[in-house]
Amino acid sequence: MSILVDKNTRLVVQGITGREGEFHARQMLAYGTAVVAGVTPGKGGQTALDGRVPVFNTVREAVEQTGANVSVIYVPASFAPDAIKEAASAGVALVVCITEGIPALDMISTYTFVQETGARLLGPNCPGLLTPGEAKVGIIPGNIAMPGPVGVVSKSGTLTYEVIDALTRINIGQTTCVGIGGDPIIGTNFIDVLTMFQADPATEAIVMIGEIGGTAEQEAAAFIKAHVTKPVVGFIAGQTAPEGKRMGHAGAIISGGEGTAQEKIEALEAAGASMAAQPTDIAQMVKQILQP
Amino acid sequence: MKLHEYQARDLLARYGVPMTGGGVASTQTEVYRIAKEINGPVVVKAQVFVGGRGKAGGVKLAKTPEEAELVGGQILGMNLKGLTVEKVLVAEAITYQKEIYISAVMDRATKRVVMIASAEGGVEIEEVARTKPEAIIKMPAHPHLGLLEYQAREIAFAIGLTDSKQARQFAQIALAVYRAFKECDASLVEINPLVIRDDGSLQALDSKILLDDSALFRHPDLAAIRDTSDEPEEEQRARAADITFIKLDGDIGCMVNGAGLAMATMDVVKLYGGEPANFLDIGGGADKDKVKTALEIILSDPNVKAILVNIFGGITRVDEVARGIIAALEEVHTDVPMIARLVGTNEEEGRKLLADSALIPAATLADGAQKAVEAARARASA
């Protein structure tokens, strides 16, 4: 078992003829993901990835003709909100937006629109998700993951790779690895993913990686305390970040003493999570929980 | 992007918010001229991006134009927490009965623009939130329709503005704040304090605006007024190269791909007893030139005694990073010890490229951080 994507995932890639879209569509296909369609307005009727994937003008056509049920978006920030809305209204269940730099105000109306269609949005500005051995949707390197019992959820990209890699190196595999993104307005938050991991019978332990800024980790801590019975190992990046400076991600800023690593760590510890002092400790901590 | 007080003031005035009279000056003569026009007591305020300007002597009251000229001369050119004051705002000094608070913020939790108001103005809203949370009113704007007029009225009554004329004026100001937020793609528009004058009318005394950097592409007029004077030269150079760089006070330079991993790298350096000299994210898919620029920026800091390169290749190719480091070292000769921890896409090739260099290889982040801390200590005591 796994969450969100698996062997039944039929993926449409929006922006498949662009540089980023083409590169990653090729990687996803090579991983074994069923990349069934691409969309680039005006290039309908062509093919991509050496003739292996048909290209459509609209997501609706792609869904109707190929049965696509998940979309991944690699289009520039100024076009991405519309691409998200197009995918959601075309009936895919999950829309994954990799694009970074989308204005936050655009995401407020886009998020609300997506909710009204019943679709789920992951991102934007996220690395996507990966169910090892089944489907890779986004940009997480496939070779660092292996199937197993740990669910991974994170705000960050490369830091998540670091943790997945460390788990795999000591032979601990993952059910699904989900990058929710570090923007202020995102479609799927920690609580949504924790709910799914808690319900997934194959997930035996959960790794949660947060960052400074906002209160999503504190809200997740309250949720863990009330609803998560599976063991949670956590890490918060930005323990040394100064106040008032934005650390790369649009959301990663400590303002007025709010959103510090310390308060997040304390909240998660109080909720029963085991907190790692450094990311590389996470794998060993999970191992001790799973194989005491 | 931050706006100066005078920029925020001009912008809000365009949306119909009643601001105090006055203007911005960069010479004593201009200060005098503006004070003379106001023809009454003025307050002269330093326009620099530092907190606690007042306490540091950057805000002064003057009763006459002559006095304004004098204090203007004291404040202009003053060094406030490392920044030189180049502009002052000369504003009409007014008397008032009460200070209130109004702002529009981007709220992650509700995924809405939320209006925040309080009858307790003049102090930091975070302070009010801690000590008197019941004094804070929050009103989320509709995601498609925005702040509605009845909501603006509800806020006015909720903070105790029961006089109908006053409530109406407050509602107009709240709607203007929301409009400014929306049309300028802000992440914060704050008026604090908004004061109730002796005649009962409302007036904004100080305001703060933060803009969403991701939306600046559609606001060239606002992007053009960015003041980078509070940013070190290297931070500006990094931004031009699409690198995120923040200078810190330590002595271990860090070069990392990805914001989360960059923060975690700093944390691990600190865990092993070191102090990071910077936050640096070369971003995804960085090429040779970008890596070279990043290294030059790190090396321009004379405090740096060791450099830790931590790359987890995904989209970023480790061999490209290695080529960038080699190219940089050919031009920037340095004896600062460099520790490289490179894994992921094309790592074998990357390691081979660096095998002949002076770089110290590290197997893990912890190993790299320990080696960097040791190297920095050895250099400091040498």
Residue A292 clears pLDDT 80, i.e. is over it: no
Catalytic residue at B150?
no
B293, B333: one domain:
yes
Across the interface, of B113, B144, B263, the residue whose CB is closest to A237 is B263
How many separate domains does chain B show?
3
Q: Is B206 part of any domain?
A: yes
Q: What is the pLDDT of residue A228?
A: 98
Across the interface, of B111, B143, B279, the residue whose CB is closest to A247 is B279
Residue A34 clears pLDDT 90, i.e. is over it: yes
Distance from CA of B292 to the nearest CA of A (A): 19
Q: What is the pLDDT of residue B53?
A: 83
**What gap in Å lies between CA A251 and CA A132, rounded to an integer?**
29
CATH number assigned to the domain comprising residue B137: 3.30.470.20
Averaged pLDDT, A179-195: 95
**What gap in Å lies between CA B39 and CA B224, rounded to an integer?**
33
B83, B182: one domain:
no
Q: What ipTM goes with this model?
A: 0.90
**Which residues in chain A are closer than 8 Å to B341, comparing Cβ atoms?**
none
Across the interface, of A104, A107, A211, the residue whose CB is closest to B260 is A211
**What gap in Å lies between CA B267 and CA B257, rounded to an integer?**
15
Averaged pLDDT, B241-270: 93
- B281–A248 C-beta distance less than 8 A: yes
What are the tokens at B28? 């004593």
**Which residues in chain A are closer than 8 Å to B263, comparing Cβ atoms?**
159, 211-212, 237-241, 247-248, 252
**Which residues in chain A are closer than 8 Å to B271, comparing Cβ atoms?**
277-278
| A254 — pLDDT class (breaks 50, 70, 90) | low
| Better pLDDT: B324 or B51 | B324
Distance from CA of A279 to the nearest CA of B (A): 7
Catalytic residue among A39, A249, A253, A271: A249
**Which residues in chain A are closer than 8 Å to B124, comparing Cβ atoms?**
256
Residue B240 clears pLDDT 90, i.e. is over it: no
B243, B376: one domain:
yes
Portion of chain B with pLDDT greater than 90, in percent: 69
What amino acid is encoded at A208 in this protein? M
Interface test with A, best of B126, B279, B346 (most A CBs within 10 A): B279
| A256 — pLDDT class (breaks 50, 70, 90) | low
Residue B181 clears pLDDT 90, i.e. is over it: yes
Across the interface, of B143, B215, B365, the residue whose CB is closest to A109 is B143
B134, B219: one domain:
yes
Q: Is B175 part of any domain?
A: yes
Q: Is B154 part of any domain?
A: yes
Distance from CA of B144 to the nearest CA of A (A): 6
Residue A257 clears pLDDT 70, i.e. is over it: no
Q: What is the pLDDT of residue A280?
A: 85
| B112 — pLDDT class (breaks 50, 70, 90) | very high
Distances (CA, A) of B260 to A156, B29, B240: 5, 49, 21
Q: Is B4 part of any domain?
A: no
B241, B362: one domain:
yes
Q: What is the pLDDT of residue A206?
A: 98
- B267–A104 C-beta distance less than 8 A: no
Across the interface, of B215, B263, B364, the residue whose CB is closest to A105 is B215
Q: Is B16 part of any domain?
A: no
Q: What is the pLDDT of residue A259?
A: 81
CATH number assigned to the domain comprising residue B312: 3.40.50.261
The answer, for A21 touching chain B at a CB cutoff of 8 Å, is no
Q: What is the pLDDT of residue B127?
A: 83
| B382 — pLDDT class (breaks 50, 70, 90) | confident
Residue B12 clears pLDDT 70, i.e. is over it: yes
The answer, for A242 touching chain B at a CB cutoff of 8 Å, is yes
Distance from CA of A33 to the nearest CA of B (A): 18
pLDDT (tens digit per residue) in A91-125 = 999 999 999 999 999 999 999 999 999 999 999 99
Residue pair B309/B341 in contact (Cβ under 8 Å)? The answer is: yes
Distance from CA of A7 to the nearest CA of B (A): 23
Q: Is B164 part of any domain?
A: yes
What's the maximum distance between 2 C-alpha atoms anywhere in chain A?
57
pLDDT (tens digit per residue) in B57-79 = 899 999 999 999 999 999 999 98
Averaged pLDDT, A238-242: 86
Averaged pLDDT, A181-194: 95
Residue A37 clears pLDDT 90, i.e. is over it: yes
**Which residues in chain B are closer than 8 Å to A247, comparing Cβ atoms?**
244, 246, 259, 262-263, 279
Average the pLDDT over each of A93-97, A242-246, B43-47 and give the range with the smallest value: A242-246
Catalytic residue among B5, B92, B99, B190: B190
User: Between chain A and chain B, how many beta carbons pairs sit less than 8 Å apart?
Assistant: 167
**Which residues in chain B are closer than 8 Å to A212, comparing Cβ atoms?**
263
Q: What is the pLDDT of residue A248?
A: 66
pLDDT (tens digit per residue) in B80-89 = 878 889 999 9
Across the interface, of A158, A239, A257, the residue whose CB is closest to B260 is A158
Q: What is the pLDDT of residue B231?
A: 76
Interface test with A, best of B107, B127, B267 (most A CBs within 10 A): B267
How open is the CA angle A66-A69-A73, to the nearest 5 degrees? Answer: 100
Of the candidates A13, A150, A246, the one whose C-alpha atom is nearest the C-alpha of residue B231 is: A246
Q: Is B166 part of any domain?
A: yes
Across the interface, of A101, A112, A239, the residue whose CB is closest to B214 is A101
| DSSP H or E stretch at residue B249 | none
B135, B119: one domain:
yes
**Which residues in chain B are closer than 8 Å to A107, comparing Cβ atoms?**
111
Residue pair B214/B186 in contact (Cβ under 8 Å)? The answer is: no
**Residue keyed to tokens 């940009």:** A139
| B233 — pLDDT class (breaks 50, 70, 90) | confident
Portion of chain A with pLDDT greater than 70, in percent: 96
CATH number assigned to the domain comprising residue B88: 3.30.1490.20
Residue B216 clears pLDDT 90, i.e. is over it: yes
**Which residues in chain A are closer than 8 Å to B365, comparing Cβ atoms?**
162, 278-280
Residue pair B28/B188 in contact (Cβ under 8 Å)? The answer is: no
B135, B275: one domain:
no
Distance from CA of B369 to the nearest CA of A (A): 11
Residue A182 clears pLDDT 90, i.e. is over it: no
- B344–A144 C-beta distance less than 8 A: yes
Q: What is the pLDDT of residue B286?
A: 76
**What gap in Å lies between CA A81 and CA A107, rounded to an integer?**
7
Q: Which of residues 164-183 of A touch B (CB under 8 A)?
A: 165, 182
**Which residues in chain A are closer than 8 Å to B259, comparing Cβ atoms?**
156-157, 182, 211, 247-249, 252
**What gap in Å lies between CA A231 and CA B12, rounded to an integer?**
51
**What gap in Å lies between CA A47 and CA A62, rounded to an integer?**
12
B171, B54: one domain:
no
Of the candidates A219, A215, A237, A81, the one whose C-alpha atom is nearest the C-alpha of residue B105 is: A215
- B314–A141 C-beta distance less than 8 A: yes
Averaged pLDDT, A203-226: 95
Q: Is B3 part of any domain?
A: no
Q: What range defines the domain where residue B262 resides? A: 233-381
Average the pLDDT over each of A74-78, A133-137, B135-139, B228-232 and give the range with the smallest value: B228-232
- Mean pLDDT across chain A: 94
B238, B308: one domain:
yes
B273, B372: one domain:
yes
Residue A144 clears pLDDT 90, i.e. is over it: yes
Q: Which of residues 42-101 of A touch B (CB under 8 A)?
A: 77-78, 101
Residue of A nearest to B259 (CA): A248
- B345–A279 C-beta distance less than 8 A: no
B169, B298: one domain:
no
Q: What is the pLDDT of residue A251?
A: 63
**What gap in Å lies between CA B268 and CA A254, rounded to an integer?**
19
Residue that finishes a domain, picked among B190, B223, B256 = B223
Average the pLDDT over each of A58-72, B180-194, B234-248 and give the range with the smallest value: B234-248
**Residue keyed to tokens 């026009």:** B37
Averaged pLDDT, B121-127: 83
Distance from CA of A216 to the nearest CA of B (A): 7
Averaged pLDDT, A54-70: 98
Residue pair A238/B267 in contact (Cβ under 8 Å)? The answer is: yes
- A155–B144 C-beta distance less than 8 A: no
Residue A177 clears pLDDT 90, i.e. is over it: yes
Residue that finishes a domain, picked among B68, B92, B116 = B92
Residue A134 clears pLDDT 80, i.e. is over it: yes
Residue pair A220/A263 in contact (Cβ under 8 Å)? The answer is: no
Residue that finishes a domain, picked among B176, B191, B223 = B223
Catalytic residue at A227?
no
B73, B167: one domain:
no
- A277–B108 C-beta distance less than 8 A: no
**What gap in Å lies between CA B47 and CA B89, rounded to an integer?**
7
Q: What is the pLDDT of residue A284?
A: 96
- B108–A185 C-beta distance less than 8 A: yes
Residue A250 clears pLDDT 70, i.e. is over it: no
